[in-house]
Amino acid sequence: MDTSLQLESRTSSADNLTILYVLFTSTLAVSRTTAALAAESSYTSEHHHAFTAAGRACIQEGHCTNVLSILLDDKNQELVRCMGWTLLPPLIQLLLKKEDKNLPQWLAVFTHLLETCGPKELLIGLLEQLEQSGPHATAESLHLLLKPLQKVLLRLGSRKASSLGMTLSSVLDQLAKLPLPLTEEQEDSEESSLCRCCMELLDFVRPFFQEARQSLSSETGRSCGLEGELRAELLKFCMKTLSHLLLEVHLRDPDELTVSPLRTFATEILDGLTAVGEHLHTLVFLPVLKRKQVPGFLEEEVRYPKASLAVVAHLVFVHHLAADSFPSVFSPVFCLRCNMEHVFLLLSSAEDPKLQKGLELYEKSLVLLEDSSLPADLLQIKTFLTVPQNMVKIMTLCPRHDLRTKGLKVFQLSIDKFDTEAKYRLFQYMLSSSNHSGVEGYVIKNIRTQIHVALQPGNGNVWFEGVHLLPLLRKVFSLPEGPETDLLQYLDRLMEALNLLRFLVIRDKVTENQTGVWTELYKIEDSFLKPLRVGLNMSRAHYEQELRGCTERRRSKEEPVLSVSVSSEKLPQMTADSQIQALHSALHTFDMMESVLARIEELTELRGDL
């Protein structure tokens, strides 16, 4: 026996097949003489090493018929059961290449190993090969190994939960390496590796979901710890799929793509959640409902990751998946209240897929509501104030134009859904917290719209006229730094404030004074109009002086001295022509601002004389 084992280290590769025959004969003799011992204890590490080296060499040399006949021999099955799994690495690599003319025979070898070897050892060997696959072989590895992995796991019987969890986690890690389909054509094409693998993953996990569903339908299954472990692992798989893969992909509606593999995949994952005993409406509303105590193996943070719950809400409300299993008894206001937690989470990210899903979920939650139906009490809930802050960041900082545009659209939609008191309080908050001239200008424009509505006959309200309106107007008609305010930086806010004041003095008669602007006018003049006039004069004088200097330097052909800094980094110096153009643009802006200011001064003098 020792002599035959030592042959492997000093023979040429052509003798490996002989060694394999000798090894089977000698180890079979050993196992027969030690029948009282367990089969695994009959083979030493030397047996394993010799078998592995000789068997792998035979596979690499292409002796498929001989290897197959040896492995199929009834006398060798005990040895194959104990050691055959070590032949997986070269065998799987050969099958992935698909170049060998004897591929059917090698597939037969692979199939026999799957049916004969110990399931635990096979699982380890298969997962090692899956995890070691190169970036370009990931999809093919999944295609080849998912069915074998399923077969091995089913052989484990009732004690497969932890092994299933390990396998699913590994598979999802491999899926994350595949490129996402970015266009409708890419998803519709059979060449999309991710879509194909998702469909194969559904086939892989289906029998385990069926087992979990069956266990829930029986009282014994509900109380069985092993079945509970299986459901826990499947729940982890669903949650990881939601928070990783489905959070990243863009699902297309049926009118865009009739048959969408990713949409089918998402639908099946939601169905999987119900198979393990979860209710979709409970998951969506979980952040605001009383935390349910779940006996089992997972802490709540692991069992219900917030990102996963947000994706469930997005799939249900935006794509209407699993709509039949979602009760329709909940009011739109309650649905919005719950979804705001998910919207806040998604919009707090800097990643485009999350921002897009957050905006879509917010929009779909809002369109279910009637205009002016949300009460001001909702603003006492944190997310109803933090989400507008997130919207400001998207509208002002997001590099994608389509998301900035979408953000503005949804922001306006949210304003429209609040009642008058809620609009008033939201405007107050936004003017105090946004710290962005463009956003403040947009809010002021909305204030003017609400005042216009309030001044219509029969539409009066206490929030946008009279004593309640005055505190809001004081926030609008103010200069952040007095006469020294950078007028160009605050241009949007200042122009909308001037337009609002012009509207008020034209629309609200002195004798009626519905808005209270005429009572407040002297304060507005002192805190806003006069400092603005001084600031305009100072800014104009400064820019005119700069313009004269630039013009003189251009004539004398001197080097430009004006530089611009962004985020503490100096940009390349501007040319003289660019400087002059920028200065002319600034002076034109001051002219526009001064014309509106002059018109307001003219109107107030005329009305004041009446």
CA distance 229 to 166: 13
Sequence-distant (≥ 6) Cβ neighbours of residue 44 within 8 angstroms: none
Determine the pLDDT at residue 558.
Answer: 56
Q: Which residue did the predictor score with more confidence, 157 or 56?
A: 157
501 within a domain of the structure (yes/no): yes
Q: Which domain holds residue 560?
A: 469-609
Determine the pLDDT at residue 581.
Answer: 82
Average pLDDT value over all residues in the chain: 84
Contact by Cβ (8 Å): 194, 251: no
Sequence-distant (≥ 6) Cβ neighbours of residue 417 within 8 angstroms: 366, 369, 370, 371, 372, 373, 374
CA distance 423 to 470: 15
Sequence-distant (≥ 6) Cβ neighbours of residue 206 within 8 angstroms: none
Determine the pLDDT at residue 14.
Answer: 46
Contact by Cβ (8 Å): 227, 215: yes
Among 4-18, 248-262, 338-352, 408-422, where is mean pLDDT lowest? 4-18
CB atoms within 10 A of CB 120: 14
pLDDT digits (tens, 9 = 90+) for 16-47: 555 555 555 444 433 333 333 334 445 666 76
CA distance 193 to 143: 10
What the block records as the tokens of 496 is: 């909308």
Percent of the chain with pLDDT over 90: 56
Q: What mean pLDDT do residues 310-339 have?
A: 93
Determine the pLDDT at residue 544.
Answer: 84
CA distance 113 to 71: 8
477 within a domain of the structure (yes/no): yes
Q: What mean pLDDT do residues 531-544 have?
A: 91
496 within a domain of the structure (yes/no): yes
Determine the pLDDT at residue 336.
Answer: 97
Burial code (b: 16+ CB inside 10 Å, e: under 16) for 31-52 equals: beeeeeeeeeebbeeebeebbb
576 within a domain of the structure (yes/no): yes
Q: Are strands 565-566 and 569-570 parallel, antiparallel or unpaired?
A: antiparallel
Strand partners, 374: 418
Determine the pLDDT at residue 279.
Answer: 93
Strand partners, 566: 569
Determine the pLDDT at residue 204.
Answer: 97
Strand partners, 565: 570
Q: What mean pLDDT do residues 310-336 have?
A: 92
Among 212-216, 330-334, 343-347, 403-407, where is mean pLDDT lowest? 212-216
Among 186-195, 496-505, 525-534, where is mean pLDDT lowest? 186-195
What are the φ/ψ torsions at residue 189 (nearest 5 degrees)? Answer: -75, 145
CA distance 228 to 25: 46
Whose structure tokens read 């070898």? 109
512 within a domain of the structure (yes/no): yes
Determine the pLDDT at residue 480.
Answer: 86
Among 11-15, 159-163, 456-460, 595-599, where is mean pLDDT lowest? 11-15
The confidence band for 572, taking pLDDT boundaries of 50, 70 and 90, is: low
Which of 161, 95, 99 has the alpha carbon at shortest distance from 130?
A: 95
pLDDT digits (tens, 9 = 90+) for 58-96: 777 777 677 777 777 777 777 778 887 888 888 888 888
What the block records as the tokens of 320 is: 């209407």
Determine the pLDDT at residue 266.
Answer: 96
Determine the pLDDT at residue 29.
Answer: 38
What the block records as the tokens of 231 is: 């459901």
Percent of the chain with pLDDT over 70: 84
pTM for this one? 0.86
Q: Is the dihedral of CA 296, 298, 303, 306 positive or negative?
A: positive
**Cα–Cα separations (whole angstroms), residue 507 to 444, 458, 512, 518:** 16, 16, 10, 12
Contact by Cβ (8 Å): 519, 468: no
Determine the pLDDT at residue 189.
Answer: 63
374 within a domain of the structure (yes/no): no
- Secondary-structure breakdown of the chain: helix, strand, coil percentages, each rounded to the nearest 5: 75, 0, 25
Which of 356, 375, 298, 365 has the alpha carbon at shortest distance from 335?
A: 365
207 within a domain of the structure (yes/no): no
Indicate if the pLDDT at residue 569 is higher than 90: no
Beta strands in 318-444 (DSSP E): none
Q: What angle do CA 268, 274, 278 make, to 5 degrees?
A: 135
516 within a domain of the structure (yes/no): yes
Determine the pLDDT at residue 218.
Answer: 72
Determine the pLDDT at residue 7.
Answer: 34
pLDDT digits (tens, 9 = 90+) for 225-261: 667 899 999 999 999 999 999 999 999 888 877 888 9
CA distance 258 to 265: 14
Sequence-distant (≥ 6) Cβ neighbours of residue 499 within 8 angstroms: 445, 448, 596
Q: What mean pLDDT do residues 549-572 have?
A: 59
Question: What's the structural domain count of the chain?
Answer: 1
Determine the pLDDT at residue 33.
Answer: 37
